[in-house]
Structure 1
Amino acid sequence: MEIIITVILTIYAFFAAYLTFGWIKIPFFRIQANPMSFHETSCVLSVVIVVRNEAENILALLQDLSAQTLTKDLFEVIIVNDHSTDQTVALVEAYAGQADFRLQLLHLHQNEVEASPKKAGIHKAIQAAQGTYVVTTDGDCRVLPGWLQVYYTFYQQYAAQLVSGAVTFAPANHLFAQVQVVEFASLIGSGAASLQLGNPNMCNGANLSYSKAAFEAVGGFAGTEHLASGDDEFLMHKIAQKYPQGIYFVKHPQSIVSTRPVPTLNKFFHQRKRWASKWSFYKDYKVKMLAFFIFLCNFGLLFAFLAYLFGGYSANAFLTQISIKCIVEFIFLSLVLNYLKKRKFIWWIPIVQAIYPLYVVFFGLLAQHKGAYDWKGRKLS
């Protein structure tokens, strides 16, 4: 068993090194002074935000959108209210009266919601959108002043059908939040590197853009409406299948979106359960095989640790296996955290590496159970 686990983890180390190569290979996007390829007076970007009970956060996001460096005529903002029970709607309506950009508020009706309110809301917004490209984020996110400028110029310089951007957590003032920053950086970095290497598997709807034409060409969310999660990744897989050369990750400091870390373990559990619920529904066999391989690696290391504790495993073998896995991971995560301007959290990587095998095994097994989870006061499955 020691040899088998060592071989598996060695393969994993080569895979992690390959991801590191993919991350480094992503070019830093530089905004060039090219002639405008769009009509300056027309709406190009439609920012879509589906919200439910975001009264604490929505004004900050709207102010961020007002501070965008992109000419206000070139984008619109469409907020879709998903049955909020707090002051979200009142705050958006009040802000609309003073907004210096086009702001539209739509409402989801009960007959429009199936298993996924998020997908229903995005679909409704796209039907009303005037822009050529859709940009999605969430109501609890913060965006930098150049966020839309980056997307606008990226579409000018590349024949892109879908562009994924980075997401991180802020503020991170306590240990639990800082651990989340590092763990989430691994997901963002892995998704970006895999995309660059021609095998897109992960992205995040809090910072995602795609052409309206591509969305319509692949049938939008058709085929996944019964899944509450996956408004981002399943759509990316469909667009990547139709436009394999049109999928990009944008690496630019102003393109990074931040959101608040999950405050409690209970909410963290339900968030990750929601994310894990879509794993078994991936149609791309390569994505399924990768998910299983990651699970196998972490299960093997967890098994080795338990076997070592109970005296049936060589200490040298266990330490070798930890080193094989962790050294390359540390290099990869350090590069991603540096890009995210989270360099001070690099030294939390070993803590995440110690927790991660248990985390992956637990949620990997939990994903096989199709139970409901809580999301903003509502049961979804």
Structure 2
Amino acid sequence: MEWILLIFIIPYVFILTNISLKLKKIQPCNHSDNPGEFISVIVPCRNAAEHLPGLIKCIGNQNYDSDLFELIIIDDNSDDPSYIPDSEHNSLKNLKVLKNEGRGKKKAIMTGVSASVGSYIITTDADCLPGEKWLSTIAASIQDSRPDMLICPVMLESKPGFFNIFQELEFLGLQGITAGTAVAGYPVMCNGANLVFKKKAYLANVNNLHPEIPSGDDIFLLHSLKKNNNIKWLESEEAVMITASSVTLEDYINQRNRWISKAGAYSDRDTIILGLVTFIAVLTQLVTLLAGMFRPEFLLVFAAAVLLKSFPDYLILGNTCKRYGKTQLMKWFLPCQLIYPFYVAAVVVRSVFPGSDWNKATH
């Protein structure tokens, strides 16, 4: 009778396997050298003085005409010198440094959009580092499809150590799901660290972004724009944005808690279904393991549950790691799978004590 518990993992396996099949259909972006699209890059930041010089340098090193983009940094009431006068930066031709007209990340982005010139906006974070072809690749993709939103890849900075490897693998898995669902036509995730959207579309939907919730500037915009069926995924290593991983386990769990804290406001069916089947699959693993402490026969069910869930996870991670040259990480797949249920449990427990400092989050 205990084996019947495995039925709760079947929906997860079905949905994630379907997503993995969509990943095989992804085609790399082909772009011209001079697409000629003017773009506004917006960076909301708080207490980010140590990170901004690196980002500004990377933006200044783009192989894209400096007359075709602007960088807008919006300081959200920082305690450090994140707000730096434009005159102190000579590396960029079109740099604006503004004070947030309100409080919080969403208001900071709105301040940046209001001051922007471009018809398309890119948002990123102060602790991110793009490659030199980042802007030209995105501009070409914009000209190719004129999307309401263009979801671009984000990768964690590779670092040694099991904790960093675990973070990187989980992040790659999320990127795989992000890409697969977007290509399938039902996007459920995006990341504000590398997100493109049409200014006109943003302004038309700004009232749907749940200003009462501190985080979620990216996901609520995605949900609002999704009805127009004009959201695309940009497949290109040259469009990847590198972001920093969490330094401590506490920071990592708190960050994930901020991600899930806004789930109660979700109205998108696809996102809700994926979240539920994932939670049920992980809960099944935890329940069978806990039951196995009292009835050993449940340990076999736990092992079967891990293997069953691992099947689509391996397909998605394997595909994503291959596309981005990270196949060496797959040797850590099984250890990470065994730890993952406990990590999810820790995030859920931590969600009882939610935080609200968006500036401490990586995204």
Q: What is the TM-score with the length of structure 2 in the denominator? A: 0.93
Match of 1:285 in 2: 269
Tell me the CA shift for residue 373 of structure 1.
4.2
User: Structure 1's 317 and 269: CA in aligned 2 closer, same or farther, altered over 3 A?
Assistant: closer
> 1:83-162, aligned counterparts within 5 Å?
83-90=77-84, 93=86, 95-96=88-89, 98-109=90-101, 112-113=102-103, 117-162=104-149
Tell me the CA shift for residue 94 of structure 1.
5.7
Tell me the CA shift for residue 269 of structure 1.
2.3
Cα deviations by residue, 1:331-373 (Å, 9 ceiling, x for unpaired)? 2112112323322222122222112222224434654x47434
Does residue 321 of the first structure (1) align with residue 305 of the second (2)?
Answer: yes
User: Structure 1's 377 and 193: CA in aligned 2 closer, same or farther, altered over 3 A?
Assistant: closer
Q: What are structure 2's unaligned runs of at least 5 residues?
A: none
Q: Which runs of 4+ in 1 moved over 6 A?
A: none
Percent identical = 27
Tell me the CA shift for residue 377 of structure 1.
7.3
Output the amino acid matched with 1:358.
Answer: F
- The answer on whether the counterparts of 1:135 and 1:208 sit within 8 Å (CA) in structure 2 is yes
- Distance across 1 between alignment mates of 2:158 and 2:86: 28
- The answer on whether the counterparts of 1:51 and 1:80 sit within 8 Å (CA) in structure 2 is yes
Match of 1:276 in 2: 260
User: Structure 1's 269 and 361: CA in aligned 2 closer, same or farther, altered over 3 A?
Assistant: closer
Match of 2:234 in 1: 250
- Distance across 2 between alignment mates of 1:161 and 1:376: 27
User: Structure 1's 353 and 134: CA in aligned 2 closer, same or farther, altered over 3 A?
Assistant: same
* CA RMSD after TM alignment: 2.2
Output the amino acid matched with 2:58.
Answer: D
Output the amino acid matched with 1:16.
Answer: L
Cα deviations by residue, 1:254-289 (Å, 9 ceiling, x for unpaired)? 111111110012211221111111111101233222
- The answer on whether the counterparts of 1:168 and 1:185 sit within 8 Å (CA) in structure 2 is yes
- The answer on whether the counterparts of 2:254 and 2:347 sit within 8 Å (CA) in structure 1 is no
Output the amino acid matched with 2:13.
Answer: A
Match of 2:188 in 1: 201
Tell me the CA shift for residue 161 of structure 1.
1.0
Does residue 48 of the first structure (1) align with residue 31 of the second (2)?
Answer: no
Structure 2 SS opposite 1:232: helix
> 1:173-192, aligned counterparts within 5 Å?
173-192=160-179
Q: What is the TM-score with the length of structure 1 in the denominator? A: 0.88
- Distance across 1 between alignment mates of 2:349 and 2:272: 14
User: Structure 1's 153 and 231: CA in aligned 2 closer, same or farther, altered over 3 A?
Assistant: same
Q: What are structure 1's unaligned runs of at least 5 residues?
A: none
Cα deviations by residue, 1:158-205 (Å, 9 ceiling, x for unpaired)? 131100111111141222111100011111111221111121111100
Tell me the CA shift for residue 14 of structure 1.
2.2
Output the amino acid matched with 2:268.
Answer: D
User: Structure 1's 344 and 94: CA in aligned 2 closer, same or farther, altered over 3 A?
Assistant: farther
- Distance across 2 between alignment mates of 1:94 and 1:346: 47
